[in-house]
Structure 1
Amino acid sequence: MKHTRRHAIAAAISIAAACVTGLAWADAYPSKPITLVVAYPAGGDTDALARLFAEKLSTRVGQPVVVDNRPGASGIIGSAYVSKAAPDGYTLLLAPSTFSIAQLVLKTNGASAYDVLNGFTPIVQTGSQPLFLVASGGSGFTSLKDAVAAAKGAGKSLSYASPGSGSPMHILGEMFARASGTNLAHVPYKGVAPAVNDVLGGHVPVTFITLGPVAPYFANGKLLPLAVASRERSPLAPKVPTLAELGYKDVEVTAWNGLWGPRHLSPEIVKTLNGHFNDILKMPDIVARMAVLGTAPVGGDADVLGKTNAADFTRFGKVIKELGIQAD
């Protein structure tokens, strides 16, 4: 009995000591610079959001937060890099929703693969972004009807740009092609910025894209929004009709972005970062800047991001299989 009692007391002391040590360690985090990986080139909306968040987080934690662009393979390269990092809170990933589905479209090997559902620790969903169908001013399209007519019928086809194979924009393009009975040719780019640049230059007539990178070109007519793929009109562009309003049902895709850590990131670090980001996402200047980038703040518990990721993986996995979507 005494032997059992001594073991119980020793175990209780060990647990208490571990808790105190864990709390003290969490209080000390971070004690060195944090790297925030963006798996896309500089200049896109994910990169712009990362730099906004990095500046605010750095001020709050008293350590540099450095944005590290690691583009390639529709975000797979940068995501895989973070999945293999030490789970110490010093290497994080800010990812768009391409994160959930890129590997379902692109072939990966052991070096570049990652486990979408179990290979990372969700920290916070930072934002939500409606997707728009946007035409080049030189395309001659003034409505969705014009674009559909250009892509429909024998011998007709219409090219559309996306930020990459496996992106929500790519999936949306293929869903719309099915719903509208049109012939659409996917032209993938390595990120948002190069896709928008080629539509601006008239090299590709239309794109499925988030609002931020294209909105500055609406006023001068260089680009024209034809439709939005959200359930309701976006408050960021209330005059743009939804695809459902224009007769295309069940073609609803909304992009998002979120902060991830490697698998096994401690709950203490998740709680610390989640708290900072929830505060950051309520700052008026951040809300205003995110609106310019076509993004609405989300926040909430880490589970919000985890559930959003899992839902997209399941839903779009079925769509990708049904439509036979593969990398171009």
Structure 2
Amino acid sequence: MKVSRKLFLALGVLAGGLWGSAVHAQAPAPAYPTKPITIVVSYPAGGDTDAMARLFAEKLSARLGQSVIVDNRPGAGGTVGNTYVGRAAPDGYTLLFTPNPFTTAPLVMKLGASASYDVVNGFTPVIHSANQAVLLVANPSSGIRSVADLVAQAKAGKPLSYGTPGAGSPMHIAGEWLNREAGIQVQHVPYRGVAPSVTDVVAGHIPLAYVTLGPVAQYVASGKLVALAISDAKRSPLLPNVPTLAELGYRDIDSGAWNGLFAPRNTPAAVVNVLNANLNEILRMPDVIAKMGTFGAAPVGGPPSAMAKVNASDYERLGKVIKDLNIQAD
């Protein structure tokens, strides 16, 4: 069959166009990273958040071939570091590793313009790294062995109090939420961090505390504290025998703890995808899973959209609870 010159030329132009499109589509993304990456932690060194950030930084550095540095920028309930990252260049070299007070801090604190940030739209989510169960524990000397015991004592008029790492924390939200749902009034005692609240509940200075699992695991295992319930929607894989408050009849209560990695708004998708893919692999490493378990953290992972969904849902859902219960930070 003869092919006319015009048809031959037309096919040549079309082929050339398709080849050009293919070359363009397959062009490699800009190299990343080409210099050290900084992960900001908005809390002091030494806590669970800092320790997990350093674990991920070490693993990321080995995989990416660049230094990954953890920079602690504590202050104002985490808002100092959060705001700093929110205003950083969106190039993937300044990131934020944070627990979920990132979402609720602007709802419970009176922030000035210099410390404010847009929880839902001001950052680019990278990954939902882990969940940490919020655990309600009791000192055995209180006579409280279950949530039913707690409610019965409170309704009988016994003065009770519960400690948390601070006013406005997820633990504070859980405590006031149970007060409302159970129709009781247990006094909130805010501490400056997890450690002092754990010290006081173990010593019996307060009968109850809401904490994450890591700091109290040894005390629960030894019987020095009794695990009553967790405030998450589902049981923790690290606490399979401890019921949720929802299971115990307080169906609406869902105030757990999570942590995740965020980048400044408008960080390129190619950069986010590199970080997300590597972190998903890191979260599957047996040594990482084991280390996270010592913090009471269960790996989650998934696409950036999963972190975005959790963050936005908490902002709306917990925002209503915070407003209804008039929860405020100190």
> TM range, normalised to the smaller chain?
0.7 to 0.9
Please say if residues 44 and 213 of structure 1, whose CA atoms lie closer than 8 Å, have aligned partners that are also in contact. Answer: no
Alignment of 1:194-213 (within 5 A): 194-213=196-215
SS at match of 1:203: coil
SS at match of 1:213: helix
| Percentage of pairs with the same residue | 56
Question: What does residue 179 of structure 1 align with?
Answer: 181
Are 2:96 and 1:90 aligned?
no
Q: 5+ unaligned residues in a row in structure 1: which ranges?
A: 1-12
Question: Which one-letter code corresponds to 1:254 in the other structure?
Answer: G
Structure of higher CA gyration radius:
2
Instruction: State the alpha-carbon separation in 2 of the partners of residues 80 and 262 from structure 1.
Output: 10
Question: Which one-letter code corresponds to 1:302 in the other structure?
Answer: P
Instruction: State the alpha-carbon separation in 2 of the partners of residues 304 and 214 from structure 1.
Output: 29
SS at match of 1:173: helix
Q: Of residues 190, 193, 205 in structure 2, which corresponds to 1:191?
A: 193
Cα 1:70/1:188, change in 2 over 3 Å:
farther
Please say if residues 199 and 207 of structure 1, whose CA atoms lie closer than 8 Å, have aligned partners that are also in contact. Answer: yes
SS at match of 1:279: helix
Instruction: State the alpha-carbon separation in 2 of the partners of residues 140 and 70 from structure 1.
Output: 41
Alignment of 1:48-87 (within 5 A): 48-87=51-90
Give the 4+ runs in structure 1 shifted more than 4 A: none
C-alpha displacement at 1:158, in angstroms? 2.6
Q: Of residues 108, 112, 118 in structure 2, which corresponds to 1:109?
A: 112
Question: Which one-letter code corresponds to 2:182 in the other structure?
Answer: S
How many matched pairs?
309
Question: Which one-letter code corresponds to 2:270 in the other structure?
Answer: E
Instruction: State the alpha-carbon separation in 1 of the partners of residues 71 and 159 from structure 2.
Output: 38
Question: What does residue 282 of structure 1 align with?
Answer: 284
Question: Which one-letter code corresponds to 1:301 in the other structure?
Answer: P
Cα 1:169/1:287, change in 2 over 3 Å:
same
Please say if residues 238 and 298 of structure 2, whose CA atoms lie closer than 8 Å, have aligned partners that are also in contact. Answer: no
Question: Which one-letter code corresponds to 1:143 in the other structure?
Answer: S
C-alpha displacement at 1:125, in angstroms? 0.7
SS at match of 2:133: strand
Please say if residues 74 and 191 of structure 1, whose CA atoms lie closer than 8 Å, have aligned partners that are also in contact. Answer: no
SS at match of 1:68: strand
Please say if residues 36 and 69 of structure 2, whose CA atoms lie closer than 8 Å, have aligned partners that are also in contact. Answer: yes
Question: Which one-letter code corresponds to 1:262 in the other structure?
Answer: P
Segment of structure 1 superposing worse, 178-187 or 167-176: 178-187
Please say if residues 151 and 157 of structure 1, whose CA atoms lie closer than 8 Å, have aligned partners that are also in contact. Answer: yes
Instruction: State the alpha-carbon separation in 2 of the partners of residues 159 and 201 from structure 1.
Output: 14
Q: Of residues 230, 233, 237 in structure 2, which corresponds to 1:231?
A: 233
Please say if residues 136 and 230 of structure 2, whose CA atoms lie closer than 8 Å, have aligned partners that are also in contact. Answer: yes
Instruction: State the alpha-carbon separation in 1 of the partners of residues 80 and 189 from structure 2.
Output: 20
Cα 1:325/1:153, change in 2 over 3 Å:
farther
Cα 1:197/1:65, change in 2 over 3 Å:
farther
TM-score normalised to the size of structure 2?
A: 0.85
Are 2:147 and 1:144 aligned?
yes
Segment of structure 1 superposing worse, 194-203 or 209-218: 194-203
